[in-house]
């Protein structure tokens, strides 16, 4: 059902945790499946300098959270904001159709964190 890459990010998630003095925080959830995701970002010189996540949910939700942190870290804020739901799924070598909403959550959480950062710094 899951690719080796999904299983790796589920069993060995990267960038788990919280950034206490985060520049932006994005929280999203899917009431249908119960997944809840929070992404914290630290921005330096218009780049995602640090990124962490906390996710309550299924293995796919944890894997997509982990993957989006890897995709976003080091990118400019604009480039990170452009990471799509499909980018996350493709980076994990695919997700089952019934789990695609998890990649939506990861992309939405990152965009929410960047929106929060931008609202504080506009």
Beta-carbon count within 10 A of 104 CB: 18
Q: From the candidates 60, 102, 107, 114, which is the catalytic residue?
A: 102
Rounded Cα gap, residues 96 and 27, in angstroms: 24
Catalytic residue among 7, 33, 36, 58: 33
In 3D space, the residue among 20, 74, 48 whose CA is nearest the CA of residue 38 turns out to be 20
- 33 is a catalytic site residue: yes
d(CA 79, CA 64): 18
Judge whether 58 counts as a catalytic residue: no
| Nearest residue to 100 (alpha-carbon basis) of 88, 82, 110 | 88
- How many of the other CB atoms lie within 10 Å of CB of 107? 23
Active-site residue list: 33, 102
């Amino acid at each position: 059902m899951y690719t080796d890459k999904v299983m790796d990010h589920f069993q060995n998630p990267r960038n788990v945790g919280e950034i206490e003095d985060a520049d932006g925080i994005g929280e999203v959830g899917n009431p249908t499946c119960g997944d809840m995701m929070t992404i914290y970002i630290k921005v330096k010189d218009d780049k995602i300098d640090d990124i962490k996540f906390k996710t309550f949910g299924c293995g796919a939700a944890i894997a997509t959270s982990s993957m989006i942190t890897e995709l976003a870290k080091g990118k400019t804020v604009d480039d990170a904001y452009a990471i799509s739901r499909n980018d996350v799924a493709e980076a994990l070598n695919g997700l089952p159709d019934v789990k695609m909403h998890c990649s939506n959550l990861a992309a939405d959480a990152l965009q929410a964190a960047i929106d929060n950062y931008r609202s504080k710094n506009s």
